[in-house]
Amino acid sequence: MAYELPPLPYSVDALEPHIDAKTMEIHHGKHHKAYVDKANAALEGTDWAGKPVEQVISALERLPHEIQGAVRNNAGGHANHSLFWQILAPEGKGGGGRPEGALGDAIKATFGSFDEFKEKFADAAASRFGSGWAWLCVSPEGKLHVYSTANQDNPKMPEEFGGKGPGHTPILGLDVWEHAYYLNYQNRRPDYINAFWNVVNWKKVGELFSEAKA
């Protein structure tokens, strides 16, 4: 079956004032929808049509050469945004605070403290030139890593396609394309990054961490 735009798990205004309703409406309904439609168009008629998007982006080098670029951008965009909506939640209703349990412990063990982790993640997000994503990922060894990727590249993509390889699992991502923040923040990407922490769904990120480690 072709990919479909997943519904938002909250209303378009639920993340205000940190992410405004108009941005969410356009970002989800237009930008993400376009990635879904273009990914479907690129994959149509190939053996890869209907395969789970993570499986497709993990194996880009095995796709027909002429569709690799379109699939990298658009299946990547579909995978990235599908994760993004899941790891956000309204402030005080699942969003904000800090990670607890195994994830909280792993963040402390890896980065020294939650604040040091936030600084490293914010730096990855702020220093990504142009468009891209900042990530907290689990490596095949079960270790946490923070880095950014360009455009719609996903950590699961092969290295020659901008990723780290199929064994890497993103559990937290921040979209730093201008379409994600420009209406509310204009050129102030650091303000958007600061606001992001108020709407991170740490419970969901913790579940993704457990799944990635399993």
DSSP 3-state assignment of 178? helix
177 or 192, CB closer to Mn ion? 177
Q: Can residue 153 be called a binding residue for Mn ion (CB under 5 A)? A: no
DSSP line for 29-45: IIIIHHHHHHHHHHHTT
Mark the segment that binds Mn ion (CB under 5 A) among 4-12, 13-21, 50-58, 170-178: 170-178
Site stretch for Mn ion (CB under 5 A), options 51-59, 154-162, 176-184, 194-202? 176-184
Buried b (16+ CB within 10 A) or exposed e, 135-161: bbbbeeeeebbbbbbebbbbbbbbeeb
Q: Is 175 in the site for Mn ion (CB under 5 A)?
A: yes
Query: Residue 192 CB, nearest distance to Mn ion (Å)?
Result: 12
**Using CB under 5 A as the criterion, what x/- string covers residues 68-87 for binding Mn ion?**
--------------------
* Residue, CB closest to Mn ion: 175
Count of residues of this chain found to bind Mn ion when the rule CB under 5 A is applied? 3
- Report, in Å, the least distance between residue 80 CB and Mn ion: 7
153 vs 175, which CB is nearer to Mn ion?
175
Task: Give the interface segment with Mn ion, choosing from 44-52, 152-160, 174-182, 192-200 (CB under 5 A).
Answer: 174-182
In a 10 Å sphere around its CB, with 0-12 CB exposed, 13-18 middle and 19+ buried, how is residue 115 labelled?
Answer: exposed
Q: How far is CA 190 from CA 4, 91, 110, 126, 185, in A?
A: 32, 19, 24, 6, 9
**Which of 173, 177, 182 has its CA nearest to residue 138?**
173
Query: Residue numbers of the site for Mn ion (CB under 5 A)?
Result: 175, 177, 180
